[in-house]
Copies of this chain bind each other. A is one copy, B any other.
């Protein structure tokens, strides 16, 4: 293991927690397993975090911030609403097909006693959805898009992307990532974009 990785034990624990939790959920992720993954003792986890519970809340929070931060930077480059939505879709698939761990933890569970879904919903999913909703609303105001229920469209977009990615992660190779992205964009924009006469 390179020395750079050795140094920050806290970071190593967080990474290990993500990796382990991704496999079968927070509750199933044991401190023993996390310690093995981080190559440290179980005890040291409690030097950095007050409890396993707090560790996972921290994991969620840090990754949510990381994800949304990167997303917004990427999207701000886009000029039109359509352009921005495309960037969201591209970034979402890029991020979550690369990092299986975080994805599964943030989106995949609807109930876990250790890190309850409402917390994940509040911390990452709803802010994400509201961000998409906001862009759609802008598109409507600029008359780029039809008058639609931006909130439900945003939720539906998240649902589409998530579900297709889950399938990919579990090895269902019906289609390539590019085919999926194209079809999702097609579905979305057919409903949104005004056809010029």
Contact = CB atoms under 8 A, between A and B. Distances in A.
Interface of A: 22-25, 27-28, 104, 107-113, 116-118, 121, 126, 148-149, 151-153, 155-156, 158-164, 166-167, 169-172, 174-175, 179-180, 183-184, 186-188, 190-191
A113 B25 CA distance: 8
A153 B121 contact: no
Contacts of A171: 118
A189 B183 CA distance: 14
B110 A169 contact: yes
A111 B121 contact: no
Contacts of A169: 110
Contacts of A108: 109-111, 117
A108 B109 CA distance: 6
Secondary structure dominating the interface of A: helix
6 contacts: A24-B111, A153-B183, A159-B161, A159-B163, A190-B190, A191-B191
Nearest to A28: B113
A152 B172 contact: no
A111 B22 contact: yes
B152 A183 contact: yes
B126 A152 contact: no
Nearest to A21: B111
B152 A164 contact: yes
A92 to B, nearest CB: 12
A164 B170 CA distance: 22
Nearest to A110: B108
Contact of A25 (B25, B162, B172): B25
Contacts of A183: 148-149, 152-153, 156
B23 A111 contact: yes
Given A110-B166, A152-B184, A159-B159, 5 more contacts: A104-B111, A108-B117, A149-B179, A153-B187, A156-B183
